[in-house]
Structure 1
């Protein structure tokens, strides 16, 4: 016997506008039960209870009412500037409810195409593109503080620079200067690093700039005998463990498995964004590393709550011209 939903009448009688309000209320409750907050105002109260003034940087602002959407308003005691809790973050001036943002974040965590993200949360492609750039702004410089320790594996991957291959110019084979080099590192704790390293085969100076600050002194560097890696060994006082790159050698494949897997996943990730502006490559890599760590630590820190907290707390302005 078919079970009748006793709440069916609640969704059958409202007008379209009332139904939208009801849907928003349902999503807010769903988020509240999953994450502990259902609206941006609630998330800001939890993670940004005493925001600094976006103009002068002073703390200790006094509460000054609330906006129409329920966001706390503040007034700076030092300069008198009025602002709301998300001011100075990438969520500033974002009109959509938090539930829509969460619907966007879920597929973005797994590198879903932009159209799929837009479809999942019922926003336009243009809005979804803007939101992706908001994410870029929130994780800009995120990798700067990551330091690899203990056993550290490094390698490089190469991707076509679409900017150089436009205009009918034929693509060159091999490691030509038409290819962007990405320096990749990972340690035994599965801390990843991925940094754009110029074009073509990397030089000593480029490897130093890309990875020099990411490897702790005294670590063991495991690599494929790329000559440029020597600068890391010398200048960071590393133990050197190298293997000749030969896919037929089981010892090489076993020793480099961790970084080779990371390189493979990075390539798959980047292939999903065909036609990206090469100038945004580092932003895509920063976002990949951020999401990698978020998913890695999901059991300890639920990933959606962690991403929302980052967006609410990180002081970063979204630049629409990006």
Structure 2
């Protein structure tokens, strides 16, 4: 058996590319080894940080109710029962989470999370994880539905840069087997964004805001041009008092700031800055968002909010190591009570804020 010293000498003699491969190998060993052992405990701590609570009714009086052995684990896990007389349902540490009742191992879920963090296509996920294409699709949106609940809309404050960007309304997907879907317009030619020039109802508006400490707000607002009423509905309780709004010259922001009673710094067309006030951060955010979404070759409008929160999560945790991010993606998605079912996808509609 090689000694520690000989192994270290062999590592020193590796080429830079081989050293990089070795680092990635060790990252995977750490991610899919040590972290797997503790991820179930972290989910438990995250979900019940304020004490045990029934995920069905929210009642705080629960008691243990034996143990069970899930099909995707070799360990027995605790089962609980709600003591609310109107509920009396049993639950586990994973009830109403994306991985609840999954027959796949935690190892596969973490590998899949790493694929999502790297922005891989569904087919690449299938190749790496060893699951079917429909399963890869359902897993993506089960996790993202939960991440959206975990993160919430968020709050921005201080100097807040706000701007809108637009995406072509998309009905991407296989509708051949659907008895309820009817295409509301003629199909576009591949690659064509809209049949109408300029901003029209064939585009959907995404409004984003970012403050100087990195808090992010990103939501699907409406079809076509943004209106003051859309802004007031979206930012209800999401902008702190005494904030300073930085926007472009769109007139809807003027009335919005006035109604909200906050200071408004409007960057006139052709200018980039007004002292410390500018919208460069939000413009850079939009550019990164558009480039990132472009890799998916079109996103159906009914799923675009999930992609906004996916990107938002990546921005918040971009400085973490991939080994930690993969684990945290599963823990965070399991912290929220989300029980998206396959049947729910059939009737999904766009989520406007």
- Indicate whether the TM-score tops 0.5: yes
Matched, 1:255 2:275: no
Q: Which has the higher contact order (CA 8 A, sep 6+)?
A: 2
Question: What is the Cα-based RMSD across aligned positions, in Å?
Answer: 3.2
Matched, 1:306 2:328: yes
Equivalent-residue separation in structure 1 for 2:304 and 2:98 (angstroms): 20
Matched, 1:76 2:86: no
TM score, norm. by length of structure 1: 0.79
What is aligned with 1:60? 62
Moved more, 139-148 or 172-181: 139-148
Moved more, 43-52 or 225-234: 43-52
Equivalent-residue separation in structure 1 for 2:151 and 2:160 (angstroms): 16
Cα deviation, residue 114, structure 1: 1.9
Judged with a 3 Å threshold, the aligned counterparts in structure 2 of structure 1 residues 61 and 32 are, in CA distance, closer, same or farther, namely farther
What is aligned with 2:30? 30
> 2:31, 2:326 within 8 Å by CA — same for their partners in 1?
no
What is aligned with 1:294? 317
Equivalence map 1:1-322=2 (5 Å): 30-31=30-31, 35=35, 37-38=36-37, 41-48=40-47, 51-58=52-59, 59-68=61-70, 69=73, 70-76=75-81, 78=83, 80-142=88-150, 144-163=152-171, 166-168=186-188, 171-246=195-270, 249-251=271-273, 255-295=278-318, 298=320, 302-321=324-343, 322=345
> 1:139, 1:286 within 8 Å by CA — same for their partners in 2?
yes
The runs of 5 or more residues in structure 2 that have no matched partner are: 4-25, 172-183, 346-353
Equivalent-residue separation in structure 1 for 2:234 and 2:308 (angstroms): 13
What is aligned with 1:16? none
Equivalent-residue separation in structure 2 for 1:175 and 1:77 (angstroms): 52
Per-residue CA deviations over 1:138-173 (Å, capped at 9, x if unaligned) read 023455451111110011111111236643586112
Alignment length (residue pairs):
295
Per-residue CA deviations over 1:184-216 (Å, capped at 9, x if unaligned) read 110001111111111222111112222343221
Equivalent-residue separation in structure 2 for 1:255 and 1:309 (angstroms): 36
The runs of 5 or more residues in structure 1 that have no matched partner are: 5-25
Cα deviation, residue 243, structure 1: 1.2
